[in-house]
Amino acid sequence: MPESNDKLVIAGREFDSRLMVGTGKYADFQQMVRAIEVSGAQIITVAVRRVNITDRTKESLLDHIDLKKYTLLPNTAGCYTAEDAIRTCRLAREAGLSDFVKLEVLGDEKTLYPNNEELLKAAKVLIAEGFTVLPYTSDDPIICKRLEDMGCAAVMPLGAPIGSGLGIRNPYNIQIILETVKVPVIVDAGVGTASDAAIAMELGCDGVLMNTAIAGAQDPVAMALAMNLAVRSGRLAYKAGRIPRKLYASASSPLAGLIS
Ligand SMILES: CC(=O)[C@@H](O)[C@H](O)COP(=O)(O)O
């Protein structure tokens, strides 16, 4: 099978699935668990702020996640400064969550766009402290290159604003990022439906991270399966190599050998 030898490798760790999923916005934990299972994802991101780190006697999101089966990717959602994001990652590590972190430093509440200046500051400190940093960033090739040069294990440019479902708004930037960096490129945020995920993969992205498109769907479990298939089919199509686009027709049935 063409898929069997096609692993996603991040900082030396191998994954069969190229879909990463979030844990927010579900109706309940049962729905979340089922959707994650059906998505086939192996990497699950959780907002450190949503995990009850201090009082483990109370019910926590983590009680519902099989930590032997999934790789946890704690994220710094809700952090607006480098200082806050660094503190959150340290907390996650001290609580034994992981040192594999999705670094988010947001610019404002309306757009939830990254504050790249603060992101770079935080990434520098966290990498020096031994964290494996996967930064959520804008679809800017220059920033992605800087993040790679400072030692980030992957770059995670947004497809569109978090939760917007607008899809890949600037495929050309994603294409330039893919040509610019060697670390895995994971589209993070903005996916609305399966075709958006397939487009990201067909462009050559190494993976897609999403939450709202699955959790906010009318049937999250069915959408999780659609995303599972879309990421895999987009990847297969990318590897297979699409035909070039042409302005004019070329007959599908060859004309050579026709009886005149
Ligand atoms: C779950 C998570 O980490 C989000 O911050 C992420 O960026 C996903 O965005 P969507 O909800 O748009 O998929």
Residue 34 in domain = yes
pLDDT tens for residues 112-150?
999 999 999 999 999 999 999 999 999 999 999 999 999
| 210 CA distance to ligand 1 middle (Å) | 5
Number of domains present in the structure of the chain: 1
Residue 129 in domain = yes
Which of 112, 209, 231 best tests ligand 1's pocket when mutated (most atoms within 8 Å of CB)?
A: 209
Listed range (199-208, 235-244, 251-260) with the worst mean pLDDT: 251-260
Residue 198 in domain = yes
Residue 258 in domain = no
The DSSP-derived string for 183-210 is S-BEEES---SHHHHHHHHHHT-SEEEE
Residue 2 in domain = no
| 252 CA distance to ligand 1 middle (Å) | 42
What SS3 state is found at 63?
Answer: helix
Residue 257 in domain = no
Residue 245 in domain = no
* CATH number of the domain where residue 15 is located: 3.20.20.70
Residues whose CB is less than 8 angstroms from the CB of residue 116 and which lie 6 or more positions away in sequence, other chains included? 137, 138, 140, 143
User: Closest Cα partner for 60 from 20, 78, 72, 214?
Assistant: 72
> What domain range is 134 assigned to?
8-240
Residue 247 in domain = no
pLDDT tens for residues 228-253?
999 999 999 999 999 999 999 999 98
Does the Cβ of 215 fall within 6 Å of ligand 1? Answer: no
How far is Cα 11 from Cα 128, in angstroms, rounded to an integer? 15
- Give pTM, 2 decimals: 0.94
Quote the pLDDT of residue 56: 67
